[in-house]
Structures are given as C-alpha cells and as structure tokens.
Homo-oligomer: A and B are copies of this chain.
Amino acid sequence: MTVIGVVGGGQLARMMIPGAINLGITLRVFAQSPDDCAAPAITAVGDFRSAEDLMAFCEGLDVLTFDHEHVPVAVLEALEASGVSVYPRSAALALTHDKTVMRAALAQLDIPQPRWAVLGASRNPEEVLQQVGGFPCVAKLPIGGYDGKGVRVIESFADIEDWMALGDVLLEERVNFVRELAQLGARRPGGSWVSWDAVETVQANGVCSEVIAPAVGLTEAMRADAARIGSRIAHDIDVVGILAVELFETADGVLLVNELAMRPHNSGHVFTELSVTSQFEQHLRAVSDFPLGATTLRAAHGVMVNIFGGVDPDAARSVADNYPAIKIHSYDKSPRPGRKAGHLVASGSQIEFVLQDARDAGARMNTGRYDG
C-alpha cells in the first residue's frame, strides 16, 4: 500500500483523509502540534524547518507532499538529495516561496501577469514605481504572505517604510479587474494533466469568502484561456500535484496571473461535492503517480462559502435542518476571530437558487458570534 506523508496539519491535510481512506492510501501527517486539525492522521510532531525532523518523518514514506508552502527550499533539496520523492519538487515549490521568483519565472514563460518590479536598496524607487504605472499600486512582501497578509495597496512609499527597511519589496500594477478567478488542475510526474473549469473567487479583506463553480458567464475563449494558462504553468514549471492559479479578469476580458499555489486550495473545496473527484483525492492520486480521476461535474453549479471564527453547533444544526442537501465541513478547530473554521457547499441546476441557499446558509454560520 502507498504511504504518503504530508507536512502540515491544517485543514488541507485533514481533508486529504477521506481520499486516502477511499483509495486505500496510508496517510501520515507531520504537524506542529498533536492538536492540529488533521489530528486523526498525525503521526509525527516537529519543526518543518528542520531537515533532521523531516528526514526522520520520511522513513517508510513513498512520497512526501504538503499542506503548506513553508518548508525551506534548502530543506526540500536535502530531502531530495537523500532520495525522498518530494512532490511537488523543490524547484517548482521555490516559486511559491518568493513572489519575485514567481514573477520572473512567469515572465520568462510569457504568461500574462500584472506589470511588476522589485523595490530594493540598489534601485531608484521612482523608476520602479514607473514600471508598475505609479500610485496607487500593490506592494507585497516577497516571502511569507498569505490570505491578504503581506499585501498592501499603497498611495505613497511612506505606506511601506517598515517593509522597505527589511529588504526587497515587490511592487505590482493595481489591476482594474472585474472579478477574480481560479484555475485548478492536477499533474502526475510523467506529465498527464487534468483540470477543472475555472471558478470565480470572491474575497473579503483579502481572504476568500465565496467560490462560484464554474465561473458564470465566462466566454468559451476565456474558459479555454484559463485552462491553457494552468496547463502551461504546470508543464513548464514541472508541477506535480494540484496547481491553483489565481487570476484577475479585466474589463476587456484579459486574464492576468495573480498568485500560484501547488497544493489543494480554498478555491477548490467546492469540488468535493461538485466534481466526481475532489481536489484532495486528485492531489493524492497525482503525487503517488496514480491515474487521475474524472473532473466531470455532478451538478451544473456549486457555491462554497467559508465559515470564519468557529463552527457554531446550533447554527450548523439550523443549516442542516433547513438545507439537507448543503454539506457543512467543520475543521474541528477551537473558535478564534477570523480563522477559517469550516466551509459549506450548495449545488444544483439553477445558479440563482444555489447562490441564494449557499449565502443564506453562510449567513447563518457567519453570525459573528466567534468572529467579534
């Protein structure tokens, strides 16, 4: 039986458990704490920055994969050098570690993206600013940001004085987008790639709050364009596992790459119910080089709503009572303001009803009781 190790014990590792159970894969999770929400699969607790801790964890694994992108590249390279199958590989993952490296790699592939430039000690700030079209623009810390952290829309350099003192800052054109999309797919080590149709993602305060799958009203040309961008990045960067490409859709129908993730992604949670194969099962298939599952949709439309703070048991009961076809996922986390504590998915044949049900159920769950 295949044994897959996952670094990180968050909800993404947790949601890999059902796929592993079905496929007969043994899943072992390396977590920071035994109480992390992937608890049922945690077999080791340690520091993901430590090559020694991870090397010990890799004993007996067929493949090592990830719930997050924070393992240092040098550690990944050491594991690979010692013969561990690491998927996605360190060379691909390196792009998600440093947004300037990612921008440079996409530029080399000629993938459409916002104008960008790096603000550093040796550069003239005004020249850099000109490259991205002036203020307002978007400033990003190259390393370590997520869920809106490490990203600021700035009106002057005074807004990022603290960051500039630390080192390089990535500046990006502020794209006048009409909405955000995400293109997901999965790739096996040999190259086979299967994708889902692009979804629309809705953000609140820089964090994903809602996903509509597939994106409504996308022209066939744009659907194909999104698919092509995903496929090209996956192949040219040699991604193995799930690749999620966050995209801006501009008013004139152009798609620009915002961010990349090489693991199951919040924008793909909807596929657990909506698609024949969930992104979690697909990730396990891809990294263990097993044939990829069908991405056919089981209903015309699906909508996912994130649950923040905590999963209120009374609210969950009320949603389950009123919407027996809606699936609530609880990550079994203790409540804390703002944390992603769960999500729910509605699906059906008419988008207006699916949206209405999902939003009503989401409002019942997101009462602010745990999110003050």
Contacts and interface: CB of A to CB of B under 8 A. Distances in A.
Nearest to A18: B18
A195 B316 CA distance: 22
Contact of A325 (B290, B293, B299, B327): B293
B18 A332 contact: no
A329 B23 CA distance: 6
A97 interface: no
Nearest to A329: B22
A75 B95 CA distance: 59
Contacts of A332: 1, 24, 26
Contact of A18 (B22, B292, B320, B342): B22
Nearest to A324: B294
Contacts of A23: 328, 330
A293 B41 CA distance: 26
A296 B311 contact: no
Q: Give the interface residue-count category, chain A.
A: 35 or more
A14 B17 CA distance: 11
A60 interface: no
A35 to B, nearest CB: 12
B296 A298 contact: no
Interface in A282-331: 285, 290-294, 296, 298-299, 311, 317, 320-321, 324-325, 327-331
A21 interface: yes
A328 B331 CA distance: 26
Interface string A16-43: 0110011110110000000000001100
Interface in A311-357: 311, 317, 320-321, 324-325, 327-332, 342
A55 interface: no
A212 interface: no
Contacts of A216: none
A15 interface: yes
Contacts of A21: 14-15, 17-18, 40
- A14, A22, A298, A328: residue with the most chain B Cβ atoms closer than 10 Å: A22
Nearest to A277: B324
B311 A293 contact: no
A121 interface: no
A40 B17 contact: yes
- The winner among A21, A40, A311, A330 for most chain B CB atoms within 10 A is A21
Given A18-B22, A290-B317, A293-B320, 16 more contacts: A1-B330, A1-B332, A14-B21, A15-B21, A17-B21, A18-B18, A22-B329, A22-B330, A24-B330, A24-B331, A27-B40, A194-B324, A276-B324, A291-B317, A293-B327, A298-B299
Closest 6 CB pairs of A and B: A24-B330, A18-B18, A291-B320, A294-B325, A294-B324, A291-B321
8 contacts: A18-B18, A22-B327, A24-B329, A276-B324, A276-B327, A285-B320, A294-B324, A298-B298
